[in-house]
């Protein structure tokens, strides 16, 4: 064959492209299990950090197997709920076959469509139950997400962890990098009386007596606004579940026959009761 001909050039180029594509495809298939394991371990590390089992930095030093074992050893149950807050399915928690509902982008769309399948991860720590739920939204430059940990009755936040894809270093990226920002969430609560605006990240500083607000990060207004919106969207989606937990485990039986936090009280009395119960 004439190596200087157009036919030779086309055949040669085609063979090179096919061989390169085959090598890349084989490599991708070979690496996929490892990539999936890394993603699963990273997701679980974020949950464990939110629940207070260890810092994210220390968890990052562990191998995937140790992270999965820590999850399996400490998770009590994991399940999916619907828009009414009712359980619709279980998630496997054994270390060798852990199931996660980790496509948060799709669930964000499902929330908007009114047909979510929301995950709840229930851990046991120091003899107490901790309920962990995810949140997801849009930051300034890309997706932001995180995990919020509640006490057994879901009347108090006990921890939080946030991450992002491409927020500005030194500004919006501080939702992940700055421990003080996450620490603010501890001891706060969701405002049950305002399901559409149940939590606020306040530019200039949250009021000292507002148990459903934290300070925004200076210079990161758009990222904080996006996180605020994500919290409101996902807390609203989880509200029926949170209210049922609060009504079942976290209320005074003299309040509305025990259904106060389940949404049967009128107006501000419900929110007032939630605060009184938490602070008492």
Least confident window among 26-35, 229-238, 267-276? 267-276
Q: What pLDDT does residue 124 have?
A: 98
Query: What's the whole-number mean pLDDT along residues 251-259?
Result: 40
Q: What pLDDT does residue 257 have?
A: 37
Q: What is the pLDDT of residues 31-51, one digit of tens each?
A: 666 677 899 999 999 999 999
Query: What's the whole-number mean pLDDT along residues 248-258?
Result: 45
Nearest-5° Cα angle at 82, 161 to 197: 55
Q: Are 164 and 176 in contact (CB under 8 A)?
A: yes
Helix (H, G, I), strand (E, B) or coil at 10: helix
Residue among 85, 145, 153, 76 at smallest CA distance from 119: 85
Q: What is the pLDDT of residues 137-184, one digit of tens each?
A: 999 999 999 999 999 999 999 999 999 999 999 999 999 999 999 999
The segment with the largest mean pLDDT, out of 32-46, 250-264, 265-279, is 32-46
Q: What is the pLDDT of residues 195-221, one digit of tens each?
A: 999 999 999 999 999 999 999 999 999
Q: How far apart are CA 91 and CA 204, in angstroms?
A: 41
Helix (H, G, I), strand (E, B) or coil at 131: strand
């Amino acid at each position: 064959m004439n190596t200087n001909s157009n036919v030779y050039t086309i055949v040669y180029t085609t063979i090179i492209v096919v061989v390169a594509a085959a090598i890349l495809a084989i490599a991708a298939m070979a690496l996929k299990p490892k990539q999936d394991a890394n993603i699963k371990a990273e997701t679980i590390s974020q949950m464990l950090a939110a629940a207070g089992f260890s810092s994210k930095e220390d968890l990052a030093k562990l191998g995937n197997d140790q992270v999965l074992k820590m999850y399996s050893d400490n998770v009590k149950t994991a399940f999916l709920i619907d828009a009414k807050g009712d359980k619709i399915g279980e998630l496997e928690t054994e270390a060798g076959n852990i199931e996660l509902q980790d496509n948060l982008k799709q669930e964000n769309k499902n929330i908007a469509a009114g047909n979510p399948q929301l995950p709840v991860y229930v851990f046991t720590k120091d003899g107490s139950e901790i309920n962990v739920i995810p949140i997801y939204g849009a930051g300034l430059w890309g997706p932001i997400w995180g995990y919020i940990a509640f006490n057994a009755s879901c009347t108090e936040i006990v921890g939080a962890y946030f991450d992002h894809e491409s927020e500005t270093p030194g500004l919006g990226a501080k939702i992940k990098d700055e421990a003080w920002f996450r620490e603010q969430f501890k001891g706060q609560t969701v405002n049950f009386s305002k399901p559409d605006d149940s939590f606020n990240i306040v530019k200039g500083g949250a009021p000292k007596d507002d148990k459903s607000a934290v300070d925004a990060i200076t210079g990161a207004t758009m990222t904080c606004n996006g996180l605020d919106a994500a919290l409101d969207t996902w807390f609203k989606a989880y509200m029926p579940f949170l209210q049922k937990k609060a009504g079942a485990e976290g209320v005074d039986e003299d309040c509305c026959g025990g259904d106060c936090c389940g949404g049967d009280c009128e107006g501000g009395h419900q929110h007032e009761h939630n605060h009184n119960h938490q602070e008492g």
